Structure formats: structure tokens, C-alpha cells
Amino acid sequence: MEQIKLFCPATIANLSCGFDVLGTCLDTVGDEMIVRKSTQIGVRITKIIGADLPLETEKNVAGVAALAMLHGMELDFGFDIEIYKKIKAGSGIGSSSASAAGAVFGINELIGKPFSRKELIYFAMQGEVLASGSAHADNVAPALCGGFTLVRGYDPLDVIRIDSPLELYATIIHPQIELKTSEMRAVLQPTISLKSAITQWGNVGGLIAGLYTSDYDLIGRSLRDEIVEPLRGPFIPQFDLVKQSALDNGALGSGISGSGPSIFALSKGREIAEKVADGMRKIYDTTGIKYEIHVSNINAEGVKII
């Protein structure tokens, strides 16, 4: 195989209670990427359509992730990468992770799949360092593995994949404003109260248990954030109204997607997810802020070959 075309999915990270450790993969939103072998050794970003991002390999998250993966390998050929961005940078639904995950997955396929999807997470994380200043896996893990992922630990990296309940759907509204991940991390506090920590631990455990047992009510009760949302919510226009509207329209829970500004809601069934989307639209139609809304089932596969 000389080239491969990929769907590189968007993701929702944190999922309210799971800051930097929980994420899920979307099925209807994502970038496309073409990775092809080249006689020229190394990695080159040859084309980016849909976003004003650097073509320089060392300044592009896909390039950095690819270089990390190829470090120490002695190949007599290289790779050219074309990126067709459909996930806007700074959207909060994993724009950088889609590029990083796609690059390492595509190259891995072209060199005979020496790494598993889970093993590719570490390399994709190096692209996230460039994007946000920290090597977090809550976006790249679900982008590569599909379903839900729990990052149990980073040293060593330990990722657990969890199947999604079959009727679970996500609704995401993306206001057309940019909140950079690095800036949103800067508003967080380095210490938290023991009371908040205990509540958060309980919610993480409850969410994991709800996913394993397809207990939708438990999932809803657990989608609560005591620590990060109170600090980031004020930066997102109409956040409280959108969240309340989602709940009023039947969502199991709602919160900030990644570092924002996107807001997500999880619902049981597409019908409720669409109703939640309609409620979100009504609120943002009054603001004058441009927005996009996505309704998606949970992507069980992750990065896909097209």
C-alpha cells in the first residue's frame, strides 16, 4: 500500500467529571487525511485545506506526532501528509488530536502496523504538547481507540477502552469563538478542596459504572463537574442557559467539551439528542454569534480508513 485516506474523528474530552482522563469519540464530525509514501526520507505536510495552519513539520501537530513515532526507525522512504480540516482549531472537540491521531495511524498502516492503536497514543500525545503545552491523552486516546477511554495513569501510560451503551448520542454546539487550550488551562487552580475531590471521584466512578452497565440514569447523575466547569464556564457565552436547556429537553447531562467553547450533551436516543440540538439553536440564535451544531452516535472504531 502506497497511500491511505483516513477519517480522523472529533472527540469530547473530560466529560464533565473526568478532566484529562476521560474522552469519547464522535462518528459524524471529523477531518480527512491522506498519507502517502515518498522516496524522500522524513515527514512533510504538503497540503492543508480548511484551516490556516503551519506546513512546517516541526510546527504542525501531525508532523510532530509522526516524527515522534518514526524516531529511531531506519526507513529508506518517508511520508507526505495532506490534511483536510473540518474541525476548527480551538473548538473544544479535538482538532489537534484528530490530526495527531490520523498521522500516526496512517503511517503505522503503511509500514505494516508494528504498533497497536493503544501504543500509538503515546506518539499522538507528543503532538498535543505542541498544541496545548501538555501531553494529555483524553482526546487522542478515544480518537485512536473509539468508544470511551479512561486514562488510568500517565506514568506509565495506561488506557482502558470502554464500549458505549448502544443508545447513547452526543449533541455538541460549537460557538464560533476561539478559546485556546493553553489559555483555558491557565485559568485552573493548582489545588482543590478535599470535599470537591471526593465528589469528583464519586462522579468518575459512577460514570464508568454507568457506561459498563448501560445505566443511563447513573450516567446522567455522574455528568457533573465540581472543579473545572465553574472556572471555565464564564468564558463561554450563554453556557448556563445552554446547559439548562439541554437538561430541560431530556439530556442525561451537559457540560464543556474539552477546554471549550463547545458545549456537549449526552442523551438516550437520537430523538432526544435532536430535541436538545433544537433547544441549543434557539438560545444561540438570540446572541448574534455564529455556531455549528452536531448530533452524533458514539464512534466505536476511532480513526477509520476511507
287 is catalytic: no
Residue 197: all three cell numbers together? 475531590
Choose the catalytic residue: 128, 171, 226, 229. Answer: 128
The confidence score (pLDDT) of residue 185 equals 74
For the stretch 84-128, pLDDT in tens is 999 988 888 999 999 999 999 999 999 999 999 999 999 999 998
**Got the DSSP string for 31-92?**
EEEEEEEESSSSEEEEEEESS----SGGGSHHHHHHHHHHTT---S-EEEEEEE--SPTTSS
The confidence score (pLDDT) of residue 100 equals 97
pLDDT band with cut points at 50, 70 and 90 for residue 178: confident
The confidence score (pLDDT) of residue 138 equals 94
The pTM assigned to this predicted structure is 0.94
For the stretch 244-289, pLDDT in tens is 999 999 999 999 999 889 999 999 999 999 999 999 999 999 999 9
d(CA 25, CA 146): 5
The confidence score (pLDDT) of residue 188 equals 82
181 is catalytic: yes
**Backbone phi, psi, residue 5, to 5°:** -110, 135
Return the residue matching grid coordinates 430523538.
271
Residue 191 has pLDDT above 80, yes or no: yes
Choose the catalytic residue: 11, 32, 181, 226. Answer: 181
